[in-house]
Amino acid sequence: MEEHRNLVTPSPEVAEKYSNELDVAVRAVQMACSLCQKVQDSLISKTNSPVHSKDDNSPVTVADWSVQATVSWILSESFGSRDVSILAEEDVQSLSKADSTGLLDAVVKTVNDCLTEAPHFGLNGPKTPLGRSDVLEAISRCNSTGGPTGRFWALDPVDGTLGFVRGDQYAVALALIEDGEVVLGVLGCPNYPMKKEWLSYHHRYHRIISKLTPPTSESWDKGCVIYAKKGSGEAWMQPLHQKNKLLAWPNSAIPVQVSSIDNPALATFCEPVEKSNSSHSFTAGLAHSVGLRKQPLRVYSMVKYAAIARGDAEIFMKFARTGYKEKIWDHAAGVIIIQEAGGVVTDARGSPLDFSKGKFLEGLDRGIIACSGAKLHERIIGAVDASWNSSSL
């Protein structure tokens, strides 16, 4: 096994606090991204790949369950199962049903295939392959209800499931919340390239290029992992780990920071692709009133947070339709990464997002606004106040 080196470059003011947790979390997300890439590749190449449908009609793949089991197992092995509490999206009950045996077997195989590669990520894998009961136990450990006290992890195993099944953008999101505050966040973005110039190419072109480009070439890094911890005043990005780049990893992290653009006419704003949980018409009206002239960057998943944190865009606005409740695992990791990279994230009144109320962002005022800087943020907040009463939200 390669030597277990620390991924994190801690700043003096926060010393070593949360460094070990962040180190393990980054490694776990790197492994989860590797797992997801393999499942997504098989999903794209096979029409009969296992895609399951949840009660809320969002597609769920083997990757969802496998990532949840894998991350849960790694965290428990690293910190002790008694000391690990996880709040995650998937419920073990639906995977435990008799008619889910085929799905469960696929998950068990996927998890074991992933965990055999643990040494490449500086982690210990299981001494013997996990069985069905081991995998179900790992998933069932994700039963935290969150709240204002204590420590728990918030995990979204595959955020942007529709993007995932379409071969587009998605993210693996992991955050640690302590006494109601997010203290570290990791975003794995398997289809979000390290180099900004690749963003202008369509994702299917990415896949073609990645297959044509020699594996040892440094000209192409398909995906990235971005992470930060509270109070460090910095966020970091590293390429997805590949076996043929062992010498470069894990010492390949580079600092990222938000854009310095504060002129709305030059700013780029992100919004969700799907209209079902966000009002495109309202954000379009806001963009016009504030003076945003560029076409919106519509991206699946929390990749939007990554885009702002590393300076590819300046604004993210999301205004959910009536009755939709934001879940904490959809935002926790992204929020702290943007904040530590120098940006601002609040609700539409300018109040911090509250991660202490359990599964949902209770008390959220109208919507979520993330900006690269205070000046743009103030302009957006003012525009929301001016136009909210005339909206249909």
DSSP string, 255-297: EE-------GGG--EEE-S-STTS-HHHHHHHHHHHT--SPPE
Residue among 64, 248, 83, 237 nearest 159 (CA): 64
- Is residue 2, in this structure, part of any structural domain at all? no
| Position with higher pLDDT, 104 vs 321 | 104
**Could you tell me the pTM of the whole model?**
0.88
User: Would the pLDDT of 2 be above 50?
Assistant: no
Confidence at 117, pLDDT banded by 50, 70, 90? very high
Distant-in-sequence, close-in-space partners of 166: CB < 8 Å, separation ≥ 6:
none
Whether the predicted pLDDT of 139 surpasses 50: yes
Q: Is the pLDDT of residue 391 over 80?
A: no
Which pLDDT does position 96 carry in this prediction? 80
State mean pLDDT over 143-166. Answer: 92
Same domain, 20 and 169: yes
Is-contact 146 177, C-beta < 8 A?
yes
- Please check whether residue 5 lies inside any domain of the structure: no
156 annotated as belonging to a binding site for a ligand: yes
Kindly report the CATH number assigned to the domain that includes residue 354: 3.40.190.80
For the cut 90, the answer to whether the pLDDT of residue 296 exceeds it is no
> Within a domain: residue 7?
no
Which residue range is the domain that position 252 belongs to?
A: 12-256
CATH code for position 203: 3.30.540.10
Reported as half-sphere exposure (CB side, CA atoms, 13 A), residue 57 has a value of: 1
Say yes or no: 129 and 215 in one domain.
yes
Last residue within a domain, chosen from 223, 256, 289: 256
Pairing of strands 254-256, 59-61: unpaired
Residues 194, 202: Cα–Cα separation, whole Å? 15
User: Do 278 and 219 fall into the same domain?
Assistant: no
Instruction: Tell whether 335 and 312 lie within a shared domain.
Output: yes
Asked whether residue 109 is domain-assigned, the answer is: yes
Distance CA 154, CA 174 (A): 6
| Positions marked catalytic | 64, 161
Kindly report the length of the chain.
393
Query: Does the residue 112 lie in any domain?
Result: yes
Does 330 show up as a binding residue in the annotation? yes
For 99-103, 183-187, 209-213, 345-349, which range has the lowest pLDDT when averaged over its residues? 209-213
Mean pLDDT, range 332-346, rounded to an integer: 98
377 assigned to some structural domain: yes
Cβ within 8 Å of residue 158, ≥6 positions away: 36, 61, 63, 64, 67, 164, 170, 171, 172
Residues 199 and 344 in one domain: no
- pLDDT tens string 53-96: 554 433 467 899 999 999 999 999 999 988 899 999 777 887 88
Number of structural domains (the chain) is: 2
